[in-house]
Structure 1
Amino acid sequence: MKDPQYFNEICTDKLPGLLGIVFTKTSSTEVRAAMNVTQSHLAPNGFLHAGSVVTLADTSCGIGCIANLPEGASGFTTIELKSNHLGTARDGSIECVATPAHMGRTTQVWDAVVTNMESGKTIALFRCTQMILYAVSNS
């Protein structure tokens, strides 16, 4: 299992890195990531943009999928996601905890909970399904 620093490095100049997402734990059963809320994460109404929350959750689940690809898999792609937004933040930090619900050879399903790190309140519940990809043989 690769450590969080590996995943932080591969995300540096990609969307997760640009948003300031930092992975703090990566295991076969849990991925943890956090993000400091800045003005660039807010919507024009002054509250945390739903896209910022979804990006944190989807990225956490995606890293979990990468860390747990079945033997012979070449990657994955998200084929469905759903989020329920229950709260917000204007500052401070938010954290995501992602856990696998299904770890198949053709699909994985991950659940994530995003919380406000200062208050402990749940901001969002998230679920996604990833399709596992395999290299196509030319023979």
Structure 2
Amino acid sequence: MTVLRPDVTLDFLRNRQKGRLPDLLGVQLLSLEQGALSGELTIRPELLAPNGFLHAATVIGLADTCCGYACIAHLPDKAQNFTTLELKSNHVSTAREGKIVAQAKAVHLGRSTQVWDATVSNGDGKLIAMFRCTQMILY
């Protein structure tokens, strides 16, 4: 079983995102534990679509970041990194203001692939999207 790596902390992940897309989006990490990671972002006008609602890419960016960071934190021994093989999202609601929160959970922690699910909700807990990605582990 792949376990949480003690050398990958929330601070390690926060430093890793400086100057990258998660930083630009405003992703804030909340928690990291065995098989799970959560993060949030504050909705601001730059993250909305031209129709005034939350852009789907913003939701995917948060969910994918949380799943990716969780994957890094759960890389098997001797693994160096990962890359995304596939991702899918289903959007069932939206938002215009406040915060959105993503909860990433491990579905499969293998030596060659990992599968992560994330739910994205608004600050009141209303479901916005369901997300799944498959990661290829790189050695």
TM range (shorter): over 0.9
Tell which deviates more after alignment, 19-28 or 107-116. 19-28
Indicate the residue corresponding to 2:13 in structure 1: 7
Distance 2:110 2:55 in 1: 32
Aligned residues: 133
Kindly, what percent of the aligned residue pairs are identical?
Answer: 50
- The residue that corresponds to 2:135 in the other structure is 130
| TM-score, structure 2 as length reference | 0.93
Contact 1:3–1:25 under 8 Å retained in 2 = no
Distance in 2 separating the partners of 1:6 and 1:69: 14
Query: Who is 1:116 aligned against?
Result: 122
What is the root-mean-square deviation of aligned Cα atoms in Å?
A: 0.8
How far does residue 27 in structure 1 lie from its aligned partner after superposition?
1.8
Deviations 1:97-129 (A, max 9, x none): 000000000000000000001x21000000000
Any unmatched runs of 5+ in structure 2?
1-5
Q: Which residue identity does 1:11 align to in structure 2?
A: Q
Structure 1 residue ranges without an equivalent (≥5): 135-139
Of residues 21-30 and 123-132 in structure 1, the stretch that sits farther from structure 2 once superposed is 21-30
2:61 match: 55
My pick for the range that moved more, 88-97 or 19-28, is: 19-28
User: Which residue matches 2:87?
Assistant: 81
CA distance in 1, matches of 2:18, 2:94: 25
TM-score, length-normalised on structure 1?
Answer: 0.93
**In structure 2, how many angstroms separate the alpha carbons of the residues matched to 1:12 and 1:88?**
27
Tell me the amino acid that sits aligned with residue 121 of structure 1.
K
Query: Who is 2:3 aligned against?
Result: none
Where has structure 1 moved over 2 Å in runs of 4 or more?
none
User: How big is the shift at 1:16?
Assistant: 0.2
